Amino acid sequence: MKIVIIGGTGLIGSKVVGKLRDQGNEAVPAAPNTGVNTLTGEGLAEVLKGAEVVVDVSNSPSFEDVAVLDFFRTSTTNLLAAEAVAGVRHHVALSVVGTDRLSESGYMRAKIAQEKLIEESSIPYSIVHATQFFEFLKGIADGATDGDTVRLAPVLIQPMAAEDVATEVTKVAVGAPLNAIVEVGGPEQFRLNEIVGRYLAARDDRRSVIADPNARYYGAKLEERTLVPESNATIGETKFEDWLSRQLVSA
């Protein structure tokens, strides 16, 4: 089965490509560095020829409110139109747990717009909502840093390894379209400020993490369970300490 992975050279995409190929599929990575640009439409028609499934794990190069909205709207519109012409039978997209609860965030508004376009398209679809990745903990800390202090809301978070995200996306991609959203999360819950503090300490990062209930998360105010999935979510295997120990060994 030919499956095209938009964003197939990135963190999640490259793992999905590998897993699909291991299963015997023709997995084709598509990204600007492979000659495929969903913003301009360059290379889309060619790469989608004969594709049965498209997996979109691409991300905006800018998180600025206007730029990220333009990216997801334009990219998704172009992609769905090209898929319709090519006869693609299943569109799979990776999104974020809690998207609908985080509309104060410009990034999340852009993801909401992306999901709406997919749901209103004629192409059968599946949307995978994943919790935050362990790999983005540093980015969360950096975005909440003021001087030597990191201010984060002490709310629940259930993060997961990128490897486990890719496993779930791969499983959905080779299955029948769900025409629905499925959720996936990590095997453990933490307080956001605590897990970021543990990550920074393990990396010998001297920044101080402060619990601040009013701290914003990518522009949005958080409630206790904004960042955790529903009870019927698929749960990944990788625990935080196991993931962290592997990062420290490879560093």
Instruction: Give the pLDDT confidence of 150-165 residue by residue, as tens digits.
Output: 999 999 999 999 999 9
The tens digit of pLDDT for each residue in 207-243 reads: 999 999 999 998 899 999 999 998 899 999 999 999 9
Note whether 105 and 149 are within 8 A (CB). no
Has this prediction a pTM greater than 0.75?
yes
The tens digit of pLDDT for each residue in 121-151 reads: 999 999 999 999 999 999 999 999 999 999 9
Residue 165 half-sphere exposure toward CB, CA atoms < 13 A: 28
Helix or strand holding residue 70 (H, E) = helix 65-86
Strand segments (E) across 23-67 = 26-30, 53-56
Confidence of residue 250 (pLDDT cuts 50, 70, 90): low
Question: What Rg do the C-alpha atoms of the chain give, in angstroms?
Answer: 18
Number of Cβ atoms within 10 Å of the Cβ of 70: 16
Nearest to 220 by CA among 130, 103, 118, 136: 103
| Mean pLDDT, the chain, whole residue set | 95
Residue 199 half-sphere exposure toward CB, CA atoms < 13 A: 24
How are beta strands 220-221 and 216-217 bridged, if at all?
antiparallel
Backbone φ and ψ for 126, nearest 5 degrees, come out as -140, 135
